[in-house]
């Protein structure tokens, strides 16, 4: 017998990938609507939306060592997100040819929790080392309109 606790409602189209983010205690989901939604697993409430893919999301992975989310879309782009601040760190276009040879379509991404790696699976697996992001340099956008600012003369900021 299945018991439904709650529904995660917010995607406009089908969900293709789901991952639990243990350090930030959240669930990330992505799919055909190109967005990644962040959910509170206790309440089912939406905590955020990661916008940046230009086509549907096919896979999502989470790397606890760096608290980052990796998302792969159907155009072979991998977006790396800061799971805490919910901002884009970088974009990797894997469908472009590199100095190491022609482009190979990426089918799956996988993370190695202990070593801090992520792996791209195509004809040959490619392993990348991930270093923790410098969270101080990542800009945080305001959730609503800024109405006032102050200047601190003592600290010149």
What would the pLDDT profile of 123-150 be if each residue is shown by its tens digit?
A: 666 666 666 555 555 555 555 666 666 6
Q: How many residues are listed for the chain in this entry?
A: 157
Q: State the pTM of this model.
A: 0.68
pLDDT digits (tens, 9 = 90+) for 49-105: 999 999 999 889 888 777 888 898 888 888 989 888 889 988 887 765 444 455 555
Count other Cβ atoms within 10 Å, centred on residue 60.
Answer: 24
CA distance 41 to 51: 21
Return the structure tokens found at 133. 């992001």
- What DSSP state is assigned to residue 55? S
Sequence-separated (6 or more) residues with CB below 8 Å from residue 156: none
CA distance 91 to 53: 9
């Amino acid at each position: 017998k299945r018991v439904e606790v709650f529904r995660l409602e917010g995607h406009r189209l089908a969900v293709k990938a789901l991952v639990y983010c243990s350090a930030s205690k959240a669930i990330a989901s992505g799919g055909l609507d190109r967005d990644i939604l962040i959910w509170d697993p206790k309440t089912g409430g939406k905590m955020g939306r990661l916008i940046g893919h230009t086509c549907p999301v096919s896979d999502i992975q989470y790397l606890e060592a760096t608290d980052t989310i990796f998302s792969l879309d159907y155009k072979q782009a991998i977006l790396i997100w800061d799971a805490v601040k919910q901002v884009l760190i970088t974009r990797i276009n894997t469908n472009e040819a590199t100095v190491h040879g022609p482009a190979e379509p990426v089918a799956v991404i996988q993370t190695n929790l202990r070593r801090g790696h992520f792996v791209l699976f195509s004809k040959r697996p490619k392993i990348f080392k991930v270093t923790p992001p410098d969270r101080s340099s990542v800009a945080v956008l305001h959730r609503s309109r800024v109405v006032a600012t102050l200047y601190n003369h003592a600290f010149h900021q």
